[in-house]
């Protein structure tokens, strides 16, 4: 251990980058097989802007889709349960993605994987 005089007041910060190759991408491939709209999403945020659940909670369909694509599954099941399945996001999606089916498939796969 170096003493504080030899460090000159500087230290090396720990690495903060995310290694997406280590994440679990099986959920994304299973969801995409059932609902190809996952791959069509361009993360424009239109769905999040019109979401009724987002007005009352911190829910964001855009964030859920990004987490599934990235393989970041921690806490995702609880977050996906907040969707009210009202369908507003499906009406405004510029890519015509069946967002209701997408969230249902995400929930189904997460339950089957016990995540």
* Sign of the Cα pseudo-torsion (40, 45, 46, 47, in order): positive
pTM of the model: 0.80
pLDDT at 61: 94
**All structural domains of the chain with their residue ranges:** 23-112
Per-residue pLDDT of 33-80, as tens digits, reads: 999 999 999 999 999 999 988 888 889 999 999 999 999 999 999 999
User: Largest alpha-carbon pair distance within the chain?
Assistant: 63
Local confidence band at 3 (pLDDT 50, 70, 90 cut-offs) = low
Q: Residues 62, 47: contact at Cβ < 8 Å?
A: yes
pLDDT at 23: 86
pLDDT mean over 106-113: 92
């Amino acid at each position: 251990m170096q003493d504080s005089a030899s460090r000159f007041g500087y230290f090396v910060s720990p690495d903060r980058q995310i290694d997406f190759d280590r994440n679990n991408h099986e959920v994304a491939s299973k969801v995409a097989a059932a609902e190809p709209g996952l791959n069509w999403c361009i993360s424009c945020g239109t769905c999040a802007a019109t979401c009724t659940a987002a007005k009352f909670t911190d829910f964001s369909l855009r964030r859920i889709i990004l987490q599934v694509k990235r393989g970041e599954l921690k806490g995702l099941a609880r977050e996906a349960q907040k969707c009210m399945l009202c369908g507003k996001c499906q009406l405004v999606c510029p890519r015509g993605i069946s967002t209701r089916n997408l969230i249902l498939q995400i929930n189904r796969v997460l339950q089957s994987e016990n995540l």
